Amino acid sequence: MKFSTKAIHIGQKPDKETGAVIPPIYMTSTYYQEAPAVHKGYDYTRAGNPNFSNLEETLASLENGKYATVFSSGLGATNGIISTLKSGDLVLGTNDLYGGTYRIFNKIYNNFGILFKSIDTQDVNAVEDAVKKHKPVLLFLETPTNPLLKISDIEAIAEITHKHGVKLVVDNTFATPYFQNPLDLGADYVLHSTTKYIGGHSDVIGGVVITNDKEMKDKLDFVRMSVGLNPSPFDTWLTARGLKTLAVRMERHAENAMQIAKYLQNHPKVERVFYPGLSTHKNYEIAEKQMKGFSGIVSVEFKLNLNESKKLLSKFNVFTLAESLGGIESLVDHPASMTHASIPKEEREKSGLFDGLIRFSVGIENIEDLKKDIESALKAV
């Protein structure tokens, strides 16, 4: 079965009781038991719910994986993975992670003795040196990264982590399973903030971890239940609903983003455009090798100072100034003061994230309207 068919049918069978084509929302906290501990596979919704199972089946199949565990958010999913570690363990991570991922390692888990070190995962040799030097248990890779769209070679890095007995997790939120499948490239675990493209409509928060490792699946289910990282039945139902149109949405996101990237690349007020689909991107060859498309995020350094950048952000009419990304509507974000404010300025600038950077989550609106909006906003500064 091909991707768009799987997204609609796998895990989404008509209801056996009533024939309802769309599975109902199981809004229940608990389940009837015929005798103590005799039930139909569910006992309490913190531990499991048919809506979780349906979405898990769809997401596992879209990532070509065997198992999935859904969580309350993308950070809930990260929390789920870290909760399988122990004090003294060290995690290496990409040096341009989503700000909240950086924060959870540096402000929460460091207090429990789990150590974190950022490295430049674009450089495969630097990854091998860091793995040898720091002896991590886990490498946390984000590719493309948020917000600088850095690309790391998943297959080459998986070879290194396997050689050294290190587990590899890939945050695949930006690419989505439609454009990139890290398990096929050797990753051990794939993570998504399903809040973004997978839900796709900016109306739900969620996360997932997908793996082929049954032992890890059991650990993640146990952690979710024990720590209380479960989503709600309604949220998982809504996510499954959004997911059905992922293939068509991603085609349009990528098409629009490519046009915006090309348009901005030639604009006199632009210093630099970050988009993995441009042949000028630093790691374009790797992006082309491991991705089937380049998704919908474009980040831009304008020839503007901080005040001018802020003024520009107030001039959009179609793009909405807001955190998050991956919904059908176009959003614009100022990472340094919004999504990545939790990373100290010095640390941000080391990885190339300066105050002037603006991130566009290009939606699926008409491309002419999007271009006109950018053009008129730029004219006003």
Q: Is 207 in the site for ligand PLP (CB under 6 A)?
A: yes
Q: Which residues contact 320 (CB under 8 A, 6 or more apart)?
A: 329, 330, 331, 332
CB of 192 to ligand PLP, least distance (A): 8
Tell me whether residue 54 or residue 94 sits nearer to ligand PLP (CB atom). 94
The C-alpha atoms of residue 294 and residue 351 are separated, in whole angstroms, by 21
Backbone φ, ψ for residue 323 (5° rounding): -70, 175
Interaction pattern, residues 84-113, with ligand PLP; x per rule: CB under 6 A: --------------x-xx------------
Q: Is 300 in the site for ligand PLP (CB under 6 A)?
A: no
Q: Of residues 89, 96, 153, 171, which has the active-site annotation?
A: 171
The C-alpha atoms of residue 258 and residue 293 are separated, in whole angstroms, by 10
Query: Which residue among 160, 205, 287, 331 contacts ligand PLP (CB under 6 A)?
Result: 205
Token pair 């719910």: residue:
49
Q: Is 242 in the site for ligand PLP (CB under 6 A)?
A: no
CB of 33 to ligand PLP, least distance (A): 33
Query: Which residue among 68, 75, 138, 198 contacts ligand PLP (CB under 6 A)?
Result: 75
CB of 49 to ligand PLP, least distance (A): 19
Rg of the Cα trace of the chain? 21
CB of 300 to ligand PLP, least distance (A): 17
Four-point Cα dihedral 285, 287, 293, 298, nearest 10: -110
Q: Which residues contact 256 (CB under 8 A, 6 or more apart)?
A: 296, 362, 363, 364, 365, 367, 370
Q: Is 196 a catalytic residue?
A: yes
Tell me whether residue 145 or residue 304 sits nearer to ligand PLP (CB atom). 145
Q: Is 269 a catalytic residue?
A: no
Q: Which residues contact 275 (CB under 8 A, 6 or more apart)?
A: 149, 257, 258, 261, 281, 294, 297, 298, 299
By CB under 6 A, name the binding residues for ligand PLP.
Answer: 73-75, 98, 100-101, 142, 146, 171, 173-174, 193, 195, 205, 207
